[in-house]
Amino acid sequence: MKKVVEIENQRVGYDQKCFIIGEIGSNHNLDKSVVKELIDAAARAGFDAVKFQIYDAEEAFSKNEMTTDVHLDHLYGVCPWWEVARDKILMPRAWFGEMFEYARSKQLIPLSAVHRVEDAEFLMQYGLSAFKIASIDIHYHHLLRKLAKLKKPMIISTGMAYLSEIDETTRMLEEEGCEDIILLHCISCYPPRPEDVNLLNIKLLQDAFAVPVGYSDHSTGIVSAIAAVTLGAVVIEKHITLDKSTKGPDHAFALEPDEMVSLARSIREVEAYLGKVKRTLSRDDMDARIMIRRSLVARVNIAKGETVTLEKIKFARPGTGIATNEFKYVDGRRARQDIAAEEIIQWAMLE
């Protein structure tokens, strides 16, 4: 497995900037202008990618599954869920080429969740560079084996999965020759309760699997996503909307444009604060060592030939003289010259 995965023109993984994905998903409201406005908002905010969804509703759902089963009857009434997905949730296939092109014109990478090989192959004609695997498909090996043969990176959400299932899937993909894998910690609730988010699972996944780990965030606001970055998440995926009050399953917990700006800005600021896992001193730190650290300073006048003892010195700023931890090499030596009180002691002043 790889620590860094290439997605189009961007390196995603450790020691790289966080890859921020704005999920448009179903929040297009079957309006092309809304899709483009969301792409524009993601570009203005400084996101790296936008994500769509494509699937065949008739294939994806049992026709016996109702809106009451998915707790969305308050939005769509009581009816078969697959019909709602087909008629109100899915972005028309005919739009994908145009929207992929528009996203790239805004320097964004277009991505999509795929649930069938046929859909993956359909999107590859528009240059789809990676497959997003939704949490529902992490254990759908019949699909994943076929996708592995297409030799694209996979970004895999881990919601609802036991650690053993994640392990089984990553091992299977590796056996199938897919080494470009990114795992996303994810809670498959919309939105989840804060106490159920368990962001420390990011660390768990990092320790358990030798792949980049990110976070698909279904919570409201931006706090958990920013916290995830402090824990080492290299990808943040977040639903986006133009208006949280819009009718639809994913608008209420999605980010509006001003929140998108805050998220991206905060992530970049956090990255600057986090720096690298390497102990280095900045130029300001080096300057501070001189001004703020203590040196050996004469407490009283010390005559030439006089023995220097602890009672005759103090440890005081600035740090331009003999370091405090080197007093043991000074104690008991004689002064080579007169040293005035408050003078910073240098090695040349001692015999």
Read off the pLDDT of residues 269-309 as tens digits, 9 standing for 90 and up.
999 999 988 888 899 999 999 999 999 999 999 999 999 99
Please give the single-letter amino acid code of residue 164: S
* pLDDT at residue 276, as a whole number: 85
Band of the pLDDT at 199, cuts 50, 70, 90? very high
Please give the single-letter amino acid code of residue 312: K
Nearest Cα to Cα of residue 267 among 22, 14, 20, 15: 20
* pLDDT at residue 278, as a whole number: 86
Residue 49 bridge partners (DSSP): 21, 109
Rounded average pLDDT over 220-232: 97
Nearest Cα to Cα of residue 265 among 235, 233, 234, 222: 222
Band of the pLDDT at 167, cuts 50, 70, 90? very high
DSSP character at residue 64:
T
Tell whether the model's pLDDT for residue 32 goes beyond 90.
yes
Rounded average pLDDT over 138-147: 98
* pLDDT at residue 322, as a whole number: 97
Could you report the per-residue pLDDT of 314-327, keeping only the tens digit for each? 999 999 999 999 99
Tell whether the model's pLDDT for residue 128 goes beyond 90.
yes
Band of the pLDDT at 333, cuts 50, 70, 90? very high
Look at domain 283-349 and name its CATH class: alpha beta
Are 212 and 13 in contact by the 8 Å Cβ rule? The answer is yes
Band of the pLDDT at 342, cuts 50, 70, 90? very high
Are 38 and 29 in contact by the 8 Å Cβ rule? The answer is no
* pLDDT at residue 220, as a whole number: 95
Rounded average pLDDT over 195-221: 97
* pLDDT at residue 155, as a whole number: 98
| CATH fourth-level superfamily of 4-55+90-274 | Aldolase class I (3.20.20.70)
Could you report the per-residue pLDDT of 57-70, keeping only the tens digit for each? 999 999 999 999 99
Domain map (residue ranges) of the chain: 4-55+90-274, 283-349
Query: What distance in Å separates the CA atoms of residue 101 and residue 103, rounded to the nearest whole number?
Result: 5
Tell whether the model's pLDDT for residue 83 goes beyond 90.
yes
Count CA atoms closer than 13 A to 311's CA, side-chain side: 2
Residue 52 bridge partners (DSSP): 112
DSSP string, 173-233: HHHTT---EEEEEE--SSSPPHHHH-TTHHHHHHHHSSS-EEEEE-SSSSHHHHHHHHTT-
